[in-house]
Structure 1
């Protein structure tokens, strides 16, 4: 999207690609976190007492944070797609000025 001289060039496809990249990274992050959680769950099932309570509280916080990150990435992706649609509409309006 940008060149070495700092100029930003926006194309319809680059905006869609950026949104798709954000979606893919968001899904990958969710998969990675779920994998880590499964690994920890195998060990945490053996914990009892205060250690178990502390882990459960920490895991609940991590889950909330992960959900927040996923929600933010989904919103960013949606806004990038919306920007692409708005950019295309503006481009068509500008073209009409020359017709």
Structure 2
């Protein structure tokens, strides 16, 4: 995954997501700092990244270790009960809530 400066077109970050393709992306904030949430395809994994440094926040969440792995097609970062959460949706699965902070 890559980010660029919208005004100059200059590359800012390159995040590998462990070498897997990204199936969904969300942008939000965690305690006032910008973050990115990603879901990967082949090995269903949700991860959160610092949008400035590109460093992973926390360990991530493996949702591919299920009998029928979930490939998230939609993510949203929002607040729930005074916590920052990632909501994930996938075909054939109920919505998934991950509390990140």
Smaller-chain TM-score range? under 0.3
- More strand by proportion, 1 or 2? 2
Q: TM-score, normalised by structure 2?
A: 0.19
* Greater relative contact order structure (CA < 8 Å, 6+ sep): 1
Q: Which of the pair is proportionally richer in helix?
A: 1
Query: Normalising by the residue count of structure 1, what TM-score does the alignment of the two structures yield?
Result: 0.19
